[in-house]
Amino acid sequence: MLNLLLDYAHRNQLVTEPGFAPKTIKWLIWLGSDGDLLDVIELGDPSQKKNPGQEFARCPELKQNELIAGGLTRSQFLWEQCDVVATCRSETDAKKRQKHDAFVDLMRQAFQSCRVEELQIAAGALQNEQTLQQICQKLEQHKAKPQDRVTIRVGGLILVDDDRWHDWWRQYRASLQPKAPTSSAQMVCFATGQPTQPFATHPKVNLADVGGQSTGSVLIGFDKDAFTSFGLKQSANCAVSEDAAYAYRAALQDLLANRSRVIAGAKITYWFSHAVKLEDDPIAMLIGETGEQQEATAQAQVRRLLESIQTGQRPDLTDNRFYALTLSGSGGRAMVRDWAESDFKTLAENIDCWFDDLSIVHRDGGRLADPPRFLAVVGALAREMKDVPPPLTARLFHSALTRTPLPGEALARALQRVRVDIIENNPFNHARMGILKATLNRKGGYKMQPYLNPQHPSPAYHCGRLLAVLASLQRAALPNVEAGVVQRFYAAASATPALVLGRILRTAQFHLDKVRADSPGLAAWYEGKIAEIMGALKDNIPATLSLEEQSLFALGYYQQLAQDRAGKSATDTNSSPQEEAQS
> Tens digit of pLDDT for each residue in 25-47?
999 999 999 999 999 999 999 99
Residue 5 has pLDDT above 90, yes or no: yes
Residue 288's pLDDT is: 78
- The stretch 387-415 carries a mean pLDDT of 92
For the beta carbon of residue 167, count every other beta carbon within 10 angstroms.
11
Q: Which of 109-113, 288-292, 579-583 bottoms out in mean pLDDT, i.e. has the lowest? A: 579-583
pLDDT band at 581 (very low <50, low <70, confident <90, very high): very low
572 φ, ψ to 5°? -150, 120
What is the pTM for the complete model shown?
A: 0.77
Answer whether residue 64 shows pLDDT above 90: no
Q: Which of 224-233, 446-455, 573-582 has the highest mean pLDDT?
A: 446-455
pLDDT > 80? residue 570: no
Q: Can you give the pLDDT at residue 479?
A: 82
Helix residue ranges per DSSP H, 359-458: 374-379, 390-402, 408-423, 430-441
pLDDT of residue 483: 62
Q: Is it the case that residue 272 has pLDDT exceeding 60?
A: yes
- The 3-class secondary structure across 305-326, one letter per residue, is HHHHHHCCCCHHHHCCEEEEEE
- Residue 165 pLDDT exceeds 70: yes
pLDDT at 151: 96
Report how far Cα 451 is from the mean position of its chain's Cα atoms: 31
Q: Which of 273, 269, 277 is nearest to 253 (CA)?
A: 269
110, amino acid identity: A
pLDDT of residue 291: 54
- pLDDT tens-digit readout, 524-547: 999 999 999 999 998 789 999 999
User: Residues near 38 by Cβ (< 8 Å), separated by ≥ 6?
Assistant: 30, 31, 32
95 close to 159: Cβ distance less than 8 angstroms: no
Domain positions in the chain: 14-175, 178-258, 291-319+345-441, 459-582
What is the C-alpha separation between 298 and 302, in angstroms, rounded? 6
- Using the predicted structure, report yes or no on whether residue 227 has a pLDDT greater than 80: no
* Sign of the torsion formed by the C-alpha atoms of 439, 440, 444 and 446: negative
Distance CA 415, CA 62 (A): 50
Q: Which amino acid is at 205?
A: V
Give how far Cα 350 sits from Cα of 104, 148, 334, Å: 56, 43, 28
If one compares 223 and 544, the residue with the highest pLDDT of the two is 544
For residue 226, give the amino acid letter.
A
Please write the tens of the pLDDT for every residue from 416-443. 999 999 888 899 999 999 999 999 999 9
Q: How confident is the model at residue 177 (pLDDT cuts 50, 70, 90)?
A: confident
CA distance 303 to 285: 11
User: CB neighbours (10 Å) of residue 316?
Assistant: 13
